[in-house]
Structure formats: structure tokens, C-alpha cells
Amino acid sequence: MRVSNISQAKDLLEQHGQRQILAFCDELNDQQQGQLVSQINKLDFNNLDKWINELVLNTPLADIPDDFKPAPYYKATPQENEQKALYDKALKLGRELISGGKVAAFVVAGGQGTRLGFDGPKGNYPVSPVKNKTLFQLFAEQIKANSNRYGVDLAWYIMTSPLNDAQTKEIFKENDYFGLGEDNVFIFQQGTMPNFGFDGKILMADKDKIACSPDGHGGSLKALFDSGAIDHMKARGVEYASYYQVDNPLINIFDPLFVGLHALAEAQMSSKTLIKAYPKEKVGNFCIVDGKMTVIEYSDLPDEHAERKNPDGSLVFELGSIAIHMVSRSFVEKINEKGFALPWHRAEKKIPYIDAQGNKVKPTKPNGVKLESFVFDALPMTTSSIILETLRENEFGPVKNATGIDSAESSRELMIACWAGWLEDAGVKVPRKADGSVDAVIEIAAGFALDADELKSKVNEIPEIKAGDSVYLG
Ligand code: UTP
């Protein structure tokens, strides 16, 4: 039901126990009242009371089925001859699909990045070891280098949220779309969810503003469709979106093996995995539940399962999810045309709000609940989905925090370690400290080499690297 003015809004909010939204409406001018009414119209009153009861006022217990087993997967390198033939076929097909412009980059960059505490879109965070390039610039250079390699303008889809959309667009404009050409970059916004106090009341960010936050990376599957990104893909002939997170500078966006294995399996949404370092590592676990591909979060995987070992000592549930997916356009079209909903996940957070007197409050401890959906919850909706192993040192260096674990600092170390590995593969001597870590600051631009093999062809252009050197290959 839509309301057209404050008085209609009052009745509607009364029915749902949310009158506090209008607590200050008498102080608002006509324009502010109009804006508030349009925010109220965006609330999903058909589901609101149910969500509040089930997820805000209560903490639902994780619904872990009795019967689940580890998911099958493809190892990073083929294990026997028949598999080698399959990987060769997949590589060939993957390269053809990329060259045909049928694969696009798709980064989700709508998050709030609260842990990093950086002012502005996370993609604008400077991160590369020598040149301090931003995440956006690193991705753009990788897309450009792939466009050159495959002889086609590859498209880049970027999901933002109302929090950072304008700033993100400004950054791309200021940087002239990082040399990719405006036509090859499509920036679109995801949806939002209202924030709740622990009493189930929607919080207000200001007298005329409902407190909202992005609806989670799961919102991407709807936003792709609603924003017109899917139509844009269709018009360009893009069939697959290579999904990754804005905080992983080590992502290999156009991996022909992953594309090819996904396409050969006629899969709808596929994933990359890494082998967990320890049983309760904070990554989701790929499992088969009732015959369906499913990710069980680390916090929901019972200890006895997490700790279970195979006779060879490996973990039974060893496949960690690192938020790298291949998504078929036809899958996004199909689920949106049929209508779908991903489950909401509850998170207790510090949510800035205005109190009953209208004072702005910045809480120091969690004061309410945000609801988010996760993209991997779409996996059980697929009828075909493959998993490909990737090596941690090659493709996973998340920037979540300012310092410590999963920080810009650790991500830089991982980038250096990865590039040092490529150099050594190519026969270049890399200085190392006694503990084995690299004793130099190294950066290899995507335009110089996209992978270890390409670096081998440039070995003559690489200077000698001495301990303590800062080396940029670009
Ligand atoms: P995270 O779960 O790390 O969240 O997002 P975050 O918002 O970036 O950071 P914190 O938790 O506030 O510190 C993983 C990826 O999903 C994207 C993020 O931008 C990041 O690439 N994301 C997350 C969205 O695009 N939208 C969302 O609503 C949430």
C-alpha cells in the first residue's frame, strides 16, 4: 500500500507499531515531509512485522540440517589424464568466451567498510605496495590488461549503495574511468533495509530520515536486474558475470579455467574455494544439503563436523568460501522473473540514531539490528554449480581492517608474496629474510604481467632485486 501524505502515513505506521518514524514530522517543512513519505513508501510492509518478530525481537537458531556432506570440487590443477583433458577443453572454451566479450567483471562495492574506518568508498582505498594504487585502479588495470590480451573491450559492472554511489561515480569521472572508457563501466545501486532498535522499532537517522543500510551483497542479484545492468549485459552479449568483492586486490577477474568449467557444466552460479587453514577458519563451508549446493557459515558449522578428518589427515569439510563466483546472466534473469527472496541474516551493530528528544546519538556499543542478505544463499537455487579450488597465495588478500589480520598491511604482504612467487617461477632471484618472507617491496602492474606465465616472457626486462629494494614493474 502506498501513502501519499503524512496523515495516511500515520495510519499505516500506527497499524505496524512504527509511529515513532513521524515523531518530529510537525517540525519538518513540506519538502522534508515529502521525502519522509517517499522513504516510508519504500518499506516492505507486507513483510516488516514478520521480519521484526522473527529476526529482530528474536535471535533465530541456525537451521543446520542433519544430513549434509562436503561438496565436490575441482582441484586447482588436474589430477589425472581425463581431468587434464577436461581442464584443457575448459581453458579453450573460457578463452573463447572472454575473447567474445561474453564475460564481464562484477564487483560488489556497496558495503559500509566500517571495520576499515576509511572515509569514502572502499574501492578508493590506496593499497598497492609500491605505488599505493587504489583498489579501483588495480581492478581497472587488470580489466584493461585482459581487454588487451583478449582483443576486446571487457565490461565492468560496479554495485554501489546509496551510501557511496555519488562518491564512486565522482571518483570514476575524476579518473576518466581509469582509461577503460565510460561505455565499458556500468555503476548501479543496490537496495537498502531499515535499521531496527532491539525493541523492533525502526530507528531514525534524523528527523526526516529513516536509518537504513545496504541490504547485503545478496542484494546484488536483485539490483543487477532492477538497475538495468542485466539489460545492458544482454545488449552487449555478456553471458557471465565474474563476481568478486571490492576488498580483494588479488582477485583473478578473468580466469579462463573458471569460466570454462562453469560454462561446460551449464552452471548457473559457481564458486572458487580455498582449502581452509584450520577447522574453524572464518570462511563459509561448501556443503551439499538435500542435494543442493549450500554454504554453511563457519559459526553455524558444529564443532564435531568442523574438526572431522579424513584418514589422510585433511579436513572432511575443508572447502572455504571466499566470495568469488561466476554468475550466469540467464540465472539472474530467471530468478528475478519468477520472483525470489534470499534469507535475511541478523547482525547486532552500532547504529547512529536520534533519540526521543531529537538528539543525534553515536552509540559506543551495539544498539540495534541490521538485516543483510548474502549472495551465497542463492547457490541452493541453482540446478548446476561447480567449485574450483584456488590457491590462497594467488588469489586471496582481503582488506577488511586497518591493521592486523585481513588488513591493508597483510594484503600488501600477500601481494608481495604472490608477485615474488611469479618472479621466482620465472627464474628471477628474490631476496628473502631468514623466516622466508620477501626482503623487498615488489609491485607488478597488471599491464606488465597478468600472471606468472606472462612474466616469464618479460624476464629480460626485470632488474636485479637486492635486499631492501623497492621494485615496480609497470
Ligand atoms: P563485508 O561483509 O566485508 O562488509 O563486505 P563491508 O561493508 O565491506 O565492511 P564492514 O563489515 O562494514 O567492515 C564484503 C563485500 O560485499 C560488499 C562490500 O562492499 C564488500 O565488497 N557489500 C557488502 C555490498 O556490496 N553491499 C552490502 O550491503 C554489503
CA neighbor of 227 nearest in space, from 157, 282, 318? 157
Nearest 5°: the CA angle 80, 82, 85 is 105
Substitution site in 125, 246, 403 for ligand 1 pocket (most atoms within 8 Å of beta carbon)? 246
CA distance 316 to 299: 17
Taking the complete model, does pTM exceed 0.95, yes or no? yes
292 within a domain of the structure (yes/no):
yes
Residue 174 lies in a domain: yes
Q: What is the pLDDT along the chain (474 residues), one digit of tens a residue?
A: 789 999 999 999 999 999 999 999 999 999 999 999 999 999 999 999 999 999 999 998 877 787 889 999 999 999 999 999 999 999 999 999 999 999 999 999 999 888 998 989 999 999 999 999 999 999 999 999 999 999 999 999 999 999 999 999 999 999 999 999 999 999 999 999 999 999 999 999 999 999 999 999 999 999 999 999 999 999 999 999 999 999 999 999 999 999 999 999 999 999 999 999 999 999 999 999 999 999 999 988 989 999 999 999 999 999 999 999 999 999 999 999 999 999 999 999 999 999 999 999 999 999 999 999 999 999 999 999 999 999 999 999 999 998 999 999 999 999 999 999 999 999 999 999 999 999 999 999 999 999 999 999 999 999 999 999 999 999
Burial 57-94 (b: 16+ CB within 10 A, else e): eeeeeeeeeeebebbebbebebeeeeeeeebeebbebb
Q: Does residue 56 lie within any of the structural domains?
A: no
Q: Report the SS3 class of residue 22.
A: helix
- 359 grid coordinates: 538528539
Among 106, 245, 321, 377, which residue has the most ligand 1 atoms within 8 Å of its CB, making it the best to mutate?
Answer: 245
User: Does residue 275 sit in the same domain as residue 290?
Assistant: yes
**Atom number in ligand 1 closest to CA 215:** 28
Neighbours of 127 (CB within 10 A): 22
CB atoms within 10 A of CB 247: 26
On whether residue 53 sits in a domain, the answer given is no
What pLDDT was estimated at residue 18? 98
Bridge partners, 74 (sequence order): 388
CA 265 and chain centroid, separation: 23
Q: What is the pLDDT of residue 62?
A: 77
Same domain, 237 and 345: yes
Q: Is 335 a member of any domain?
A: yes
The reply to whether 465 and 336 lie within a common domain is no
Same domain, 127 and 156: yes
Please indicate, yes or no, if residue 51 is contained in any of the structural domains.
no
The DSSP code sequence of 383-443 is: S---EEE--HHHH-----BSSSTTBHHHHHHHHHHHHHHHHHHTT----B-TTS-BSSEEE
Q: Do the beta carbons of residue 376 and residue 295 sit within 8 Å? A: yes
110 CA distance to ligand 1 centroid (A)? 6
**Residue 271 maps to which CATH number?**
3.90.550.10
Closest CA to 262 of 242, 248, 244, 246: 242
Q: Whose CA is nearest to atom 15 of ligand 1?
A: 245
Report how far ligand 1's centroid is from the alpha carbon of 349 (Å): 14
- Same domain, yes or no: 283 and 414: no
Cα 264 from chain centre: 24
Residue with cell 604481467: 449
Nearest to 341 by CA among 288, 300, 371, 377: 377
Domain boundary among 344, 374, 400: 400
Contact 288, 296 (CB under 8 A): no
d(CA 259, ligand 1 centre) in Å? 24
Give the C-alpha distances (Å, rounded to integers) separating 195 from 22, 201, 215, 471.
16, 8, 10, 47
CA-nearest residue, atom 5 of ligand 1: 111
Asked if residue 414 and residue 354 are part of one domain, the reply reads no
Residues with CB under 6 A from ligand 1: 108-116, 122, 159, 161, 190, 214-217, 219, 245-247, 372, 400
Task: Name 320's Cβ contacts closer than 8 Å, sequence gap at least 6.
Answer: 273, 274, 275, 276, 281, 283, 284, 285, 286
pLDDT of residue 445: 98
CA separation for the pair 233, 156 (Å, rounded): 10
Q: Which amino acid is at 35?
A: Q
- Are 427 and 452 contained in the same domain? yes
Distances (CA, A) of 139 to 123, 251, 447: 9, 9, 11
Please identify, by atom number, the ligand 1 atom nearest to the C-alpha of residue 216: 28
Task: Give nearest CA residue, ligand 1 atom 28.
Answer: 216
Domain presence at residue 389: yes
Of 362, 383, 400, the last residue of a domain is 400
Ligand 1 midpoint to CA 145 (Å)? 26
- Cα(first)–Cα(last) distance of the chain, in Å? 57
| Nearest protein Cα to ligand 1, atom 16 | 217
User: Closest ligand 1 atom to the C-alpha of 213?
Assistant: 28
Ligand 1 atom with least separation from CA of 108? 25
Cα(186) to ligand 1 centroid in Å equals 19
Strands (DSSP E) along 76-155, which ranges?
103-108
Q: Name the 3-class secondary structure at 288.
A: strand
Which of 364, 383, 400 represents a domain boundary (last residue)? 400
Question: Is 250 found in the same domain as 110?
Answer: yes
Co-location of 383 and 441 in the same domain: no
What does the alpha-carbon distance between residue 254 and residue 176 come to, in Å, rounded to a whole number?
Answer: 23
Please report, as a single letter, which amino acid is at residue 255.
Answer: D
Nearest atom in ligand 1 to 109's CA: 19
- 385 in the same domain as 278: yes
Cα torsion angle, 132, 133, 139, 143, sign: negative
Residues 430 and 331 in one domain: no
* Atom 20 (ligand 1) nearest CA: 245
Does a structural domain hold residue 366? yes
**What's phi and psi for 213, nearest 5 deg?**
-145, 160
User: Which cell goes with 67?
Assistant: 544430513
In total, how many domains does the chain have? 3
Q: Which domain holds residue 456?
A: 404-474
Rounded Cα gap, residues 188 and 169, in angstroms: 9
Nearest CA to ligand 1 atom 14: 245
DSSP code of residue 474: -
Q: Are residues 233 and 376 in the same domain?
A: yes
